[in-house]
């Protein structure tokens, strides 16, 4: 959170390097407006650290505005010391921007061989771009482009897709991997449903639906399959495989996971094998770290009790006592394997998250016969 120091003579405002932001230009303009200064007199020192995931790219610049307001009031009161504005965890959970709720409804027609004859898909959810600087060029014909990213591709299927954006009085914003947080889950769990209904291997089924137009997806999926021992290794009693593959930010990540479900219905993720196609991996260790972290975040959206709920307009959760996060005992073994390539590198900060939840869900479905239809998962 920001620390601000107002220098009286040159009327400059400095936000020191504890200010986390992905939009320093917008934050500087917001600070200038609050302080009554010219933007050129604002200097933002951006903390060089990862972990933005939306909260550091807020169109309202809310925590910067708050810090500036406090600093201005302190200056007026004769206090010239730097002022640090720090939100508690309770402040952040109860007053943050949230990942928007989305509902997917699909009607899929398929034959005994699993050929998709028709797919009618409807998405309903708040637009995360409305009111942001991206609205002007990323909302077309009333459709937020992020709401549909990752739909249909890489599969050769006929799909009619429609989107509706209701206005709901809950502040929402992007989360790591943006729209792919929900589109990957819908696509990859529904495809597994069809594979199970037609008694087909989920890997072979995906490869068939990809046709010959998506070699990167095939390579990532095949690498994860080969490295995991899928189809060859005998799993421990009570465990099942789960598979998913998804492209976001021009990189493809495939997961093959092992999971189990306890007697009380609690799902457990034991191991994750990732196949990654990000073209040239400039720093393979960085790719590995990003995927490991993204897999953990993907797990966090599955755990029962990891939902934000509201009652009478007030967020009910306040801290980790009533909001579930993965503990060290929840962390699976994660192995990351990269497809060799000399093509120009693509993004790796976010693509590791989307396919984790559907791969986990697909394993749960194979154990229980029921696909989890909500995130986070609900206990049976």
Give me the pLDDT at residue 53, please: 62
Q: What are φ and ψ of residue 144, in 5° steps? A: -70, 120
> How far apart are the C-alpha atoms of 306 and 298, rounded to whole Å?
12
C-alpha distances (whole Å) from 55 to each of 1, 72, 98, 184 are 11, 24, 9, 22
Range with lowest mean pLDDT among 23-32, 55-64, 240-249, 255-264:
55-64
Is there a domain that residue 379 lies in?
A: no
- pLDDT per residue over 38-54, tens digit each? 888 888 888 776 666 66
* Domain extent at residue 18: 3-87
Number of domains comprising the chain: 2
Phi, psi values for residue 104, rounded to 5° = -110, 135
228 in the same domain as 299: yes
In a 13 Å sphere around the CA of 221, the CA atoms on its Cβ side amount to 24
What is the mean pLDDT of the segment spanning 250-268?
A: 96
Q: What is the mean pLDDT of residues 117-128?
A: 97
Same domain? 59 vs 146 = no
> The domain spanning residue 54 has which CATH number?
3.30.365.10
Of 18-22, 37-41, 120-124, 216-220, minimum mean pLDDT range? 18-22
What is the separation of C-alpha 109 from the centre of its chain, rounded to a whole number of angstroms? 29
Say if CB 139 and CB 145 are below 8 A apart. yes
- Tell whether 274 and 207 lie within a shared domain: yes
Residue 378 lies in a domain: no
Same domain, 252 and 301: yes
Cα–Cα distance for residue pair 244/257, rounded to 1 Å: 9
Q: Does 357 lie in the same domain as 252?
A: yes
* Token pair belonging to 72: 């201005």
**Residues 207, 221: contact at Cβ < 8 Å?**
yes
Dihedral over Cα of 204, 207, 211, 212: its sign: negative
The whole-model pTM stands at: 0.92
d(Cα 18, Cα 287) in Å, to the nearest integer?
26
Q: Taking the CA atoms of the chain, what radius of gyration do you get in angstroms? A: 23
Summarised one tens digit per residue, pLDDT across range 131-179 is: 888 999 999 999 999 999 999 989 999 999 999 999 999 999 989 999 9
Q: Do residues 191 and 311 both lie within one domain?
A: yes
């Amino acid at each position: 959170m920001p620390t601000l120091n107002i220098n009286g003579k040159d009327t400059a405002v400095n936000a020191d390097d504890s200010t986390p932001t992905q939009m320093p230009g917008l934050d500087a303009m917001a600070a200038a407006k609050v302080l009554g200064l010219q933007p050129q007199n604002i200097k933002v020192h951006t903390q060089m650290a990862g972990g933005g995931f939306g909260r550091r790219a807020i169109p309202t610049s809310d925590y910067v505005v708050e810090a500036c307001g406090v600093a201005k009031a302190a200056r007026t009161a004769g206090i010239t010391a730097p002022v640090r504005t720090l939100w508690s965890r309770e402040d952040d959970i109860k007053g943050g921007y949230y990942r928007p709720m989305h509902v997917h409804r699909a009607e899929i027609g398929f034959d005994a061989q699993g050929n998709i004859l028709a797919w009618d898909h409807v998405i309903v959810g708040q637009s995360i771009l409305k009111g942001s600087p991206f609205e002007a060029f990323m909302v077309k014909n009333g459709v937020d482009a992020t709401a549909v990213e990752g739909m249909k591709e890489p599969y050769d299927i006929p799909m009619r897709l429609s989107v509706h954006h209701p206005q709901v009085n809950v502040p929402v914003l992007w989360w790591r991997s943006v729209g792919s947080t929900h589109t990957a889950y819908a696509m990859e769990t529904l495809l597994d449903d069809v594979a199970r209904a037609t008694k087909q291997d989920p890997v072979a089924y995906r490869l068939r639906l990809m046709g010959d137009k998506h070699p990167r997806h095939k390579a990532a999926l095949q690498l994860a399959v080969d490295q995991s021992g899928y189809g060859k290794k005998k799993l421990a009693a009570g465990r099942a495989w789960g598979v998913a593959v998804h492209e976001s930010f021009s990189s493809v990540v495939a997961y093959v996971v092992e999971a189990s479900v306890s007697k009380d219905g609690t799902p457990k993720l034991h191991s994750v094998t990732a196949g990654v196609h990000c073209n040239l991996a400039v720093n393979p260790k960085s790719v590995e770290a990003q995927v490991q972290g993204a897999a953990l975040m993907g797990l966090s959206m599955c755990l029962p009790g990891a939902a934000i709920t509201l009652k009478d307009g007030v967020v009910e959760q306040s801290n980790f006592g009533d909001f579930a996060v993965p503990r060290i005992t929840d962390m699976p073994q994660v192995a990351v394997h990269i497809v060799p390539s000399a093509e120009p590198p693509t993004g790796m900060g976010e693509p590791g998250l989307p396919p984790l939840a559907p791969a986990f869900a697909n394993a749960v479905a194979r154990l229980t016969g029921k696909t989890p239809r909500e995130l986070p998962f609900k206990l049976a």
